[in-house]
Structure 1
Amino acid sequence: MTVTRPARLTGAALCAALALIAAVWILKDLAALGSPVDLAWYWAGDHFFLIRGRSATSLTDPVLLAVSAAGAVAALRSRHAASALAATGTVTLALRLPGLWAADSGALVTALAELALAAGLVVTAAAGRRPATAAYERLPTRPPTGRAVTAGVLLAVAAAVLTLWEVYWATELPVEVTVDRLTGGRSVVKPALAPPPGWLAAMLVGLYATAAGSAFARARHSRAFGLLAGGFLAAVGLAEVARAVRYELAAHFDELPTVQQLGLLSAAFGLLAGIAVLVLLAARGTQDPAPTSYGPAGPHTPYGRPGPYGSYGSYGPAGSMPPAPPSPPPPGW
């Protein structure tokens, strides 16, 4: 399946609009905090140093900015950008849906705008597809088996680890706090645009599991969803590892409680696994072999390559001449 040119241009425009909204909020936070370094540490989860104000953005916003920009570039450059547009739209829908019940009016307006743009991306990716119209038109590539299986294993393990952490916190925290972590209730303090932590964890588990399944199946859309999942996995792991290094938790690993040790190990695994998934799936995949058709003169391929018997085209063995025209030739020959 390929994407029509009008659909590609529409998808690129929608992705650019999503990236622009994220960029405007990030610039607003930079103006409020006055320091890109402070904003980066805020995204990493360090909120204790802020004395000049609060940030409305979270780690998901720069990641969504990068994802939207990549989706726009993919739509402009490739006829096979349907999976990239669909992945961008689906993840944006999942992340911005809790903004519909946000108390902040700016976050609510942003959520409505981004949900509309994301829904348009999904519709554009679905409606703009068309089947290959010629035998020589290439289909989207698939990742090689070894790289796909390795990436699938890493993403499946990441999904399992995050699920276990959410089960642990559900058993440790009161029921009302667990519910607030899913819905963004009063007991959860978070940036205005950030999804509730439980909601974000559930979305990431679904993304990692979906990307792992598509990688195991070597589906044509596995690269788009796998790269998206790898980006989130690496970003979350990097933020947690950076925060641990800043407060010298890694240097005193042996002195930490078991829960913090497991959390630091999980963060390190997420960082390394995310980078590995990006490396494994970033390279161009492999093309399916061209189908062999059988005509009256024997097998041949639609690309004019030699068939099993050395033929070029459908005229028989290599070196033979095409058949003579009929005599007398019909009208218009």
Structure 2
Amino acid sequence: MTVTRPARLTGAALCAALALIAAVWILQDLASLGSPADLAWYWAGDHHFLIRGRSTTSLLDPALLAAYAATALAALRSRHAASALAAAGAATLALRLPGLWAAGSGALVTALLELALATGLVLTAAVGRRPADAPYEQRPTRPRTGPAVAAGILLAAAALFLTLWELYWAGELPLETTFDRFTGGRSVVKPALAPPPGWLSLIAAALYGTAAVSCFARARHSRAFGLLAAVLLTAGGLGGVARAARYGTLVRLGDLTTLDATDVLTSVFELLAGLAVLVLLAGRGAPDAAPAPHPAAGARSPAPPHPTPPGW
């Protein structure tokens, strides 16, 4: 299957609109905080810059901005355009859904716009597909076995670690706080556009797990979902490692408590695993098996042997 030309253009335009929305909010935060470095440190978890202004975006926004830009390029040129559009649309729908009940009209309007654009991406990927009839048309390929299995193991481990962390916090925090972590209640302080932390972990774990299963099955859509999962995984790990370097905990793990050291090591794993999955899935896919030769139309069956054997 491939994607029609109008569907490619529509998908690229929708991704460009999503990227533009993210860029506008990032530029607004940059004007509020006054320095790109301060905004980057804020995304990493250093919130001492809030005295200069209030940030609306989180580390998720630049990660999605990069994903939208890559998806727009894939929509125009890649053989995996349909799966890339579907992955970006589905992830946006899941991640931006809590914006419907977030405080502030700006967050609500942004959520409505992004949900509408994401729905358009999913519909475009679904209705814009057609069979690849011409021999020159590129068909989606499966990932090679070795890289696919390795990427699946890393993504499955990331999903497991994220799930274990959420189970830990669910046991440590009061029930009301745990509920707020998934719904964005008053006990959770977060940027306006950011999903609640528990909700983000839930969606990320589901994305990592889905991508891992598709990698193990060597599905044709595994590259799109795996690369998107790797972008989010790398962003989360980079933020944690940068925060640990900022506070000096990265170089003195022996002085930390078991919980803090585990948190730092988890961030290091996420960063390295995300980069590894990007490398593993960005390579060429496995070539499709050559079709079996068919006899030409109207060709006669071979003549019987001569002399014919008994019972022929």
TM-score range, shorter chain: over 0.9
User: How far does the alpha carbon of each residue in 1:14-67 deviate from its partner, in whole angstroms, 9 at most, with x for none?
Assistant: 000000000000001111111000000111111123321110000110011111
Aligned-partner residue type, residue 153 of structure 1: I
Deviation at 1:295, TM superposition (A): 0.8
What's the counterpart of residue 37 of structure 1?
37
Runs of 4 or more consecutive aligned structure 1 residues displaced over 2 Å after TM superposition:
134-138
Unaligned runs of 5+ in 2: 301-312
2:187 counterpart of 1:209? no
Q: Tell me what 1:7 maps to.
A: 7
Tell me, in whole angstroms, the C-alpha distance in 2 between the residues paired with 1:173 and 1:20: 37
Corresponding position of 1:127: 127
Instruction: Give TM-score, length-normalised by structure 2.
Output: 0.93
Please name the residue that 2:81 is paired with: 81
> Aligned residue for 2:149?
149
Identity of aligned residues (%): 72
Aligned to 2:304: none
What residue number does 2:64 align with? Answer: 64
Please list the CA deviations of residues 72-116 of structure 1 after superposition, one character each: whole Å capped at 9, or x if unmatched.
111111343000000110111111100000111000000000000
Q: 2: CA distance between counterparts of 1:48 and 1:136?
A: 56
1:199-247, Cα deviation, whole Å (9 max, x unpaired):
0000000000000001001111111111111111111001001101111
Which residue identity does 2:192 align to in structure 1? A
Structure-2 change in CA distance of 1:34 and 1:296 (3 Å): closer
Distance 1:290 1:96, change over 3 A: same
Q: Equivalent residue for 1:172? A: 172
Q: Which is helix-richer, 1 or 2?
A: 2
- 1:121-140 Cα deviation digits (max 9, x unpaired): 00000000012224664421
Q: CA deviation at 1:293?
A: 2.5
Partner residue in 2 for 1:118: 118
CA distance in 2, matches of 1:137, 1:264: 46
- More deviation in 40-49 or 169-178? 40-49
* Structure number with larger C-alpha Rg: 1
- Distance in 2 separating the partners of 1:206 and 1:282: 21
Cα gap change, 1:42 to 1:36, in 2 (>3 Å)? same
Cα distance in 2, alignment partners of residues 236 and 273 from structure 1: 11
Q: TM-score, normalised by structure 1?
A: 0.87
Question: Residue 301 of structure 1 corresponds to which residue in structure 2?
Answer: none
Aligned to 1:158: 158
Given that 1:44 and 1:239 are in contact with CA atoms closer than 8 Å, whether structure 2 keeps it comes out as yes
Q: Distance in 2 between matches of 1:139 and 1:79?
A: 6
Structure 1 residue matching 2:215: 3-state secondary structure: helix
Matched, 1:279 2:285: no
Is the deviation greater in 283-292 or in 140-149?
Answer: 283-292
Alignment partners' CA distance in 1, 2:213 and 2:244: 32
8 Å contact 1:8–1:79 — kept in the other structure? Answer: no
| 1:149-298 alignment runs, 5 A limit | 149-295=149-295
User: Which residue is equivalent to 1:104?
Assistant: 104
- Contact residue 57 and residue 192 of structure 2 kept, 8 A: yes
Within the alignment, does 1:17 sit opposite 2:17 as a pair?
Answer: yes
What is the aligned-residue RMSD (CA, Å)?
A: 1.6
Hey, what's the Cα distance between the residues in 2 that align with 1:137 and 1:49? 52
Distance 2:18 2:138 in 1: 30
- How many angstroms apart in 1 are the aligned matches of 2:46 and 2:33? 14
**C-alpha separation in 2, matches of 1:136 and 1:47:** 53
- Displacement of 1:296 in angstroms is 5.7
2:52 corresponds in structure 1 to 52
Structure 1 residue 90 and structure 2 residue 87: aligned?
no
Q: How many residues align?
A: 300
1:290, distance to aligned residue in structure 2 (A): 1.7
**In the TM superposition, what is the alpha-carbon distance from 1:142 to its structure 2 partner?**
1.3
The residue identity in structure 1 corresponding to 2:30 is L
2:194 maps to a residue whose letter is A
